[in-house]
Structures are given as structure tokens and as C-alpha cells.
């Protein structure tokens, strides 16, 4: 019970400190818009649960290159999720970021078309 209370206190303190840090970042940006906040910014990102791995699973069974929107729809369909168009776009955006981060490491863009079409990278013989 005591540990649970400490965890709750730490979460509340984290929320307060991250709120204060956002204010500090905003003031720095007002004073110097070109300042790079990456060195001081607290990592607040959530892990991307729509990772490249799910996209790769879809691309393995694909007959050709796919856009991130098509991959997102296929991932949601595979999970049995009925999503609104906005939710599907959010999933596609997460997949797009993951694919860009993994470009050349298993996945690659197919051509220079817009929107980008993705495929599995062919193995070197």
C-alpha cells in the first residue's frame, strides 16, 4: 500500500515537472525560435504500437507495393478493428514514421511516387 502511494506521488510529481518543462521550452522558443530544444526536451513519447513490424507482416503477404494508408487499413483489418477514417489515418501516420525510420533495413520505397509506396527490401544474393 505504501509503495502504491509512492508511485502515485511520483506520477503526480512527474506531471507537474513535465508541465513546468513545457513552459520553459515555450519561453526559450519565444526568446530564440532557432534554438534546438532536442538537447533539453524531456522524452514524452509513447511507444508506437503500430510499429514497422506489423507493417512488415502485411507487406509479406502483399502482392505489390502499398501506401501507408493501405497498410494501416490491412493492419486494422488483421486486428479485427473497425476504425473511423480519422483513426485509420492516425494509424497510417504511425506506420509511416516507423517505415521511414526503418527504410533500408528491411523495407524500401518503391519509386518516387506520392504518396509513397512501400515494399519489403529484396535480399542481396
pLDDT tens profile 24-40? 888 998 999 888 887 77
Cα first-last separation, the chain: 59
Residue 113 CA to residue 124 CA, distance in Å, equals: 24
pLDDT tens profile 48-88? 666 667 778 888 888 888 888 888 888 888 888 887 888 78
Residue 31 CA to residue 36 CA, distance in Å, equals: 12
Q: What phi and psi, each to the nearest 5 degrees, are found at residue 86? A: -65, -40
pTM of the model: 0.55
Residue 11 CA to residue 23 CA, distance in Å, equals: 19
Cβ-based neighbour number of residue 21 at 10 Å: 14
124 has pLDDT over 80: no
Which DSSP helix (H) or strand (E) runs through 1? none
Amino acid at each position: 500500500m505504501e509503495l502504491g502511494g509512492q508511485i502515485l506521488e511520483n506520477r503526480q510529481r512527474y506531471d507537474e515537472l513535465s508541465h513546468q518543462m513545457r513552459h520553459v521550452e515555450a519561453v526559450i522558443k519565444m526568446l530564440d525560435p532557432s534554438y534546438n530544444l532536442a538537447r533539453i526536451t524531456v522524452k514524452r513519447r509513447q511507444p508506437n504500437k503500430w510499429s514497422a513490424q506489423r507493417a512488415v507482416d502485411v507487406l509479406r503477404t502483399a502482392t505489390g507495393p502499398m501506401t501507408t494508408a493501405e497498410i494501416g487499413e490491412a493492419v486494422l483489418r488483421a486486428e479485427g478493428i473497425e476504425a473511423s477514417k480519422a483513426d485509420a489515418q492516425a494509424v497510417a501516420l504511425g506506420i509511416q514514421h516507423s517505415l521511414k525510420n526503418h527504410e533500408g533495413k528491411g523495407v524500401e520505397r518503391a519509386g518516387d511516387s506520392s504518396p509513397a509506396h512501400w515494399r519489403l527490401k529484396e535480399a542481396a544474393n
